[in-house]
Amino acid sequence: MLPDTKYNRTLKQYQYTKNGEVETLPSMKRDEVIPYLIRLTHPELHEMVKRGIENNPHMEATLWRGAMMFLDEKVYRPTLPINGLIGQIESSKGDNSYDIDNDNGYITCSCYHWKNMQAPLTSQGRRVCKHIAALTFDLHFEERF
């Protein structure tokens, strides 16, 4: 879980509270806050996302969102795959969940972006939405966090 940040309009900087102390982040843009906090708290995950972005620059937003969902513990994985179901991801708003299936090696997601082919393709031609990215991070770090 990443700390909740708030923008301090007087300082024009983002802040969060850690152990009752207010921490102020260096000056940065809004979309730099999440990568900064992930680097601070989960450097290995940060490295993995950066490598993913190097190989797939068009997937930057999807990969950071997936990393956030993973850190927010939105990923559920059945102990054994059931009818190809390998994961369920709670939606960002928490009012729904999406199924990720492995259909003979073809990974699908039941979300709108994936089904309507709006999720980006990787350089290897795999379609990856933020939910599939979150599951990928969860599988990779399963015993380390």
Binding residues for Zn ion (CB under 5 A): 98, 109, 111, 114, 129, 131
Q: How far is the CB of 89 from Zn ion (least distance, A)?
A: 7
26: number of CA atoms within 13 Å, CB side? Answer: 5
User: Toward Zn ion, which CB reaches closer, 25 or 132?
Assistant: 132
Which stretch of DSSP H or E encloses residue 35? helix 30-41
Strands (E), the chain: 6-8, 13-18, 21-24, 75-76, 85-90, 97-103, 106-109
CB of 28 to Zn ion, least distance (A): 28
DSSP for residue 78: -
46/131 with CB nearer Zn ion: 131
Closer CB to Zn ion, 37 or 67, in the complex: 67
Nearest distance in Å: CB 119, Zn ion = 6
